[in-house]
Amino acid sequence: MRSLLRRCANCGAYTLSKERCPRCGGPVRVPHPPKYSPEDKYQKYRILQKLATGQLPVREDTREKILKDLTT
């Protein structure tokens, strides 16, 4: 379950407000980072995006193999 609790990035106060810290008006954020999951649903899309934008330095035949693996 997603936490309702937010923490002020400014003063560190915990709050249920999603907008602003009630104490100092600073920005709030979810206090814990998203959990790492070994079944990363979005990994495939990140790899595909990197391949598509040329951020993944691989040989052309490797690129084609990965694309084929991920899109089938």
Residue ranges binding Zn ion (CB under 5 A): 8, 10-11, 13, 21, 23-24, 26
Go through 39-72 and write b for each residue having 16 or more CB atoms within 10 A of its CB, e for each that does not.
eeeeeeeebeeebeeeeeeeeeeeeeebeeeeee
Nearest distance from residue 1's CB to Zn ion, in Å? 25
Nearest distance from residue 7's CB to Zn ion, in Å? 9
Q: Which residue, 22 or 44, is less far from Zn ion as judged by CB?
A: 22
Q: Which residue, 13 or 66, is less far from Zn ion as judged by CB?
A: 13
- For residue 15, give the H/E element and its range: strand 14-15
